[in-house]
Amino acid sequence: MPIFIRETFINATEGYKIGNTEVYDTCQTTPGPLFRDLQKEHGRCVSKLYLDVKGGGRKAIGWVFHKRRMYTDCDTAYLQETRVDLHKAKPTKTIEYYHLEI
């Protein structure tokens, strides 16, 4: 079963969200090799990513990575936080119509 991920990028130095990816297929089937690939790309892992569970508690759904990056318009570095959440499949999108009665 392939593993899908979504990445959220945050400028941790200044405290704002840079952007995120859509959920996509990583072509990996186990978390170990995926984790190592993500670590090479996004830096050291600083935490697991958790989701609060209804009724209390939480479950680990991914990882949080930190890496120094350079701004594209100057010679200053910032700390980029990348939150990676794992998925079993792409999300299902539905369309619901709200017709106006005339």
Domain extent for 22: 4-87
pLDDT of residue 1: 85
Contacts 24+ apart (CB under 8 A), 22-26: 23/87, 23/90, 23/91, 24/90, 25/90, 26/2
Q: Name the pTM for this structure.
A: 0.87
pLDDT at residue 85 tops 90 = yes
Does residue 92 form part of some domain? Answer: no
CA geometry: angle 31, 36, 9, nearest 5 deg = 90
Does residue 38 form part of some domain? Answer: yes
Q: What percent of the chain has a predicted confidence (pLDDT) above 90? A: 92
Does residue 15 form part of some domain? Answer: yes
Does residue 96 form part of some domain? Answer: no
